[in-house]
Amino acid sequence: MDRAQSMTITTATKFSLLDWLSLSCRHIALLAAMIATAGSLFFSEVLRWIPCELCWYQRILMYPLVLILFVGIWRDDRKVYLYALPLALAGIAVSLYHYLMVMLIIPPAPCAGVVPCAFDYINIPGALSFVKIPFLALVAFSIISVMMANLALTETPPACGRTARIMATVIVIGTAALFIGLGMMI
């Protein structure tokens, strides 16, 4: 194989990975939203961690994303980003503000709930000490935002409707089953 053939194969592989990402961006966003939703319910319902006021705002922005993305995939709605991206961007703002308070970078605001908004449930020592609940929400909202921006900015070819629907259903049922199983083990 000469150098020109090798470069052609490499270029074709890169394009197929980008095509795959463009075709999968709604599913990746759905997976992020589903993990964040199931994770927050796991924290509050299994571990009995009481959410603070800002946690509730993040939940209000995250939970509908599961339904919006799922229905968008089922309907093969190429413009689902019009509905999902505003919620995800607002979620980034709330999560970042909350994260800065938990990390004590900005002074904590008074919260009306039982738990102060600067309270830290996750206290991992060492290199992962930056991981906090608002950070996890920030990562999920960021993934969803990037995937929705990708969907908005690229021409995506029509997806295989049945396969897309099956994958969306597997994501929702699989993630829910995983967290329910994890909850039963604890």
Quote the pTM value.
0.85
The CA-atom distances, in angstroms, between 31 and each of 9, 79, 173 are 31, 18, 11
Q: What angle do CA 47, 50, 54 make, to 5 degrees?
A: 130
Q: Which two tokens stand for residue 1?
A: 């194989």
pLDDT value at residue 6: 47
The answer to whether position 67 is within a domain reads yes
Check residue 35 and give its pLDDT.
97
Number of H helices, E strands in the chain: 5, 0
Residue 10, in any domain of the structure: no
Distance (Å) of CA 154 to CA 8, 25, 48, 65, 148? 23, 11, 42, 21, 10
Residue 16 lies in a domain: no
Mean pLDDT per 10-residue run, the chain (186 residues)?
Answer: 48 58 88 97 94 95 98 92 97 96 88 83 88 96 96 75 90 94 91
Which structural domain, as residue segments, surrounds residue 89?
Answer: 21-185
| Closest of 165, 130, 131, 137 to residue 54, by C-alpha | 137
Locate the DSSP E strands across 5-141: none
Residues 6+ apart with CB under 8 A from 86: none
Would 4 be classed as within a structural domain?
Answer: no
Domain annotation covers residue 141: yes
Structural domain total, the chain: 1
Question: What integer pLDDT is reported at residue 8 of this predicted model?
Answer: 46
In a domain, 150, yes or no: yes
